Amino acid sequence: MSPPCYDKLYHEATVRAPSKAHLGKIAKNLGLDLDDDELSAYQRSIKDACDAINEVEGLPEPLLPTKYPRVPGHRPTPEENPLNAWYWKTNITGAESGKLLGKTVAVKDNIAVAGVPMMVGCSALEGYVPEFDATVVTMLLDQGARVTGKSVCESLCGAGASYTCNKGPVKNFHNPNHNAGGSSGGSATLVASGEVDLALGSDQGGSVRIPSCWCGVVGLKPTFGLVPYTGAMAFEQSVDHLGPIARSVYDCALFLEVLAGYDNGLDPRQRSDMKVPQYTTEMIVESLEGFKIGVINEGFEWKTTDDEVERTVRGSVSKLQDAGAKVEQVSIPLHAKGHILWRMVFCEGFADTTFHSGGVGRGSCGFHATSMSSFVSKSFKTRINDVGPSPKLLYLLGQYFAESYPGVIYNKGQNLRRLLAKQYDDALNKFDVLALPTIPFTAPRLPDKNISTEDYLANLGNISVNTRPTNLTGHPAISLKAGFHHVNGLPIGTMLISKHFDEVTLFKVASHFERLNSSA
C-alpha cells in the first residue's frame, strides 16, 4: 500500500497571529524598541498577513511522487545487523524492467523513502516518517531496483568517522574493531559486505568517498548538481551532493546513468542544460594512450600521511602508464587550504540550513519538504541535547561565526572557493585526471565507549583534508581501492578528479586503474 499523507502531523494548518505580549518579546529579542502604540499597529498588520495566509490553507501542496507500493519494514535485530550498517530493513520492489533490474540498493538515511522512518543518525529526529520518495529513490525504482533498507549514517551526517550515530558505531567489514568511515558508512559497509549490490550516499565533505576508501569499494561524488538532491535532508546547499557506491567501476557508472539528470527545476543546485551520457558504453577504451594524469603534490603533504599509503597510492597511479597514460606531478597550492575554506562555508551554512530551516534551506525555488522542515525544527527546539557531539560542534562554530563575524566568514569562504576552483581548472586544462590519496591514512580503531568529548572530537579531525576541496569546487571525484596496508590489512584508497560534467573521462581512467590494481 502507498503511505498516507503525514503533513497534518507535522505542522498546523492555521496560522495564528501573535498576542501583543508575544510580539513584544520577539521585538525585544531582535533589538527593536517599540512603544505600545507602535506594537499595536504592527500586531494588527501581522494579523492581516496571517488572515491572508489562511486563505490558501486549503490548497494541497504538490509532493514528490510515491509510485511503488510498500509496507513500512522493520528495525533489524542484532542478528540481522552484525556490522550495525542497517538502520531500517524494507523490501520495496520497483519496475519490472530497467537498467537496475534485480539489483538490491540501500538508501542512506538522510534520503527520504515514503512510509519508512528517517532519523538521519540523530535521536532528536526519531519519529519522522516522510510521505514522499526522494527523486533519486523514484529514479532507481523506475529502473527495476529493489530497495532493501535504509543504511546508517552519522549524526546529521556531521562526521567522516563511523561512531557518531545514536544507534551505535558502524563496524568496518575488513576488521570490525576499526572505523568504516562516514557519514555514508552504512552504505559503503553494506556494499563491501555483499549485503546489497549498490548504495546511495550523500557527500558534503567526503561522505561518499571516505567510507568507500576505508571499506575498499568504489564511491563517486558526481559533479555538483548532476544528481538531483530533491527530497534529501540538506546541510549546506552549495556543497550538497548525492552519489553512488558500488563494488566495481562499471556498476558505479551504471548507477550514475540512472541517478543523473535534471529534476525539472525542483532542485536549485542543478543546471537545466545538463546531458547524461551512456557512461557504461562511453567509458570503454582499449588504452589510455594520450591521457595525462597529474598527481597532486599537496595531497600527500599532511602530518598524518602514512608512508605506506603514500607508496601505495603513488604506485597504483604509476601503473596507469602500463595502459599508455603519462603520469606527472602537479601542484595545486590552495588544495592545502581547501579544507579550511570548506569550514568557512559549511559551518555557518550548516547552522542555518539544518538548525534554522529544518534541513530544507531557504532562498531558492524548487521542492520544499514541509513535513521534514516542520518536524526537524520542532525536534531541535525540544531535543537539541540529543544531537551528537560532532554536529553540535559544527552548529556551535557556525553560530559563533554568524553572531561574532556577521557577513564575513561565510561570504569570504564563498569568494575564496572561486580561487580554489580556478586552480583545479588550470590543472585540468593540462591533465585529463588528477590523482591523490582519498585519505592519507587507513581506518583507525573505533574509540572506547568512555572516550572524553575532547578526544571524541579530536579523533574526527584530519580525515577529510583531501576530500573537502572538491565539495567546494564541484568537480567530480571517485575513490578506488589502491591496495591493502601490509601491517593492518585495511584498504587504501586513491581518488581521481576530472573536469566538471566529465564523468566519462573519470570512468575511462578509473576502469583501467581498477584492472591494473585488481590484484593489489
Q: Give how far Cα 128 sits from Cα of 139, 269, 321, 461, Å.
A: 23, 25, 51, 30
Instruction: Please confirm, yes or no, whether 183 is among the known catalytic residues.
Output: yes
Cα separation, 260 vs 512, whole angstroms: 23
Per-residue DSSP letter, 154: -
Comparing CA positions, the residue from 505, 519, 518, 460 lying closest to residue 218 is: 518
- C-alpha grid cell for residue 204? 558534503
140, 99 Cβ separation under 8 angstroms = no
Beta-carbon contacts of 382 under 8 Å, excluding residues fewer than 6 positions away, are none
Residue 24 CB partners (closer than 8 Å, separation 6+):
34, 39
From residue 8, alpha-carbon distances to 57, 124, 216, 399 in Å are 12, 20, 44, 31
d(CA 469, CA 206): 9
Joined grid coordinates for residue 69: 507500493
As a dihedral over the C-alpha atoms of residue 99, residue 101, residue 103, residue 106, rounded to 10 degrees, the angle is: 80
Q: Is 77 exposed, middle or buried (0-12, 13-18, 19+ CB in 10 A)?
A: exposed
Enter the C-alpha cell of residue 440: 592519507
Q: Are 308 and 342 in contact (CB under 8 A)?
A: no
Nearest partner of 308 among 468, 162, 491, judged by Cα? 491
Of the residues 103, 108, 150, 508, only one is catalytic, namely 108
Q: Which of 155, 183, 238, 373 is catalytic?
A: 183
Q: At what angle do helices 503-516 and 307-318 cross, to 10 degrees?
A: 100
Contact by Cβ (8 Å): 440, 466: yes
Which member of 155, 187, 207, 212 is catalytic? 207
Closest by CA position to 308, among listed 485, 171, 465, 452: 485
Annotated catalytic, 108? yes
What letters, b where the CB count within 10 A reaches 16 and e where it falls short, cover 129-158? bbbbbbbbbbbbbbbbbbbbbbbbbbbbbb
Q: Provide the annotated active-site residues.
A: 108, 183, 207
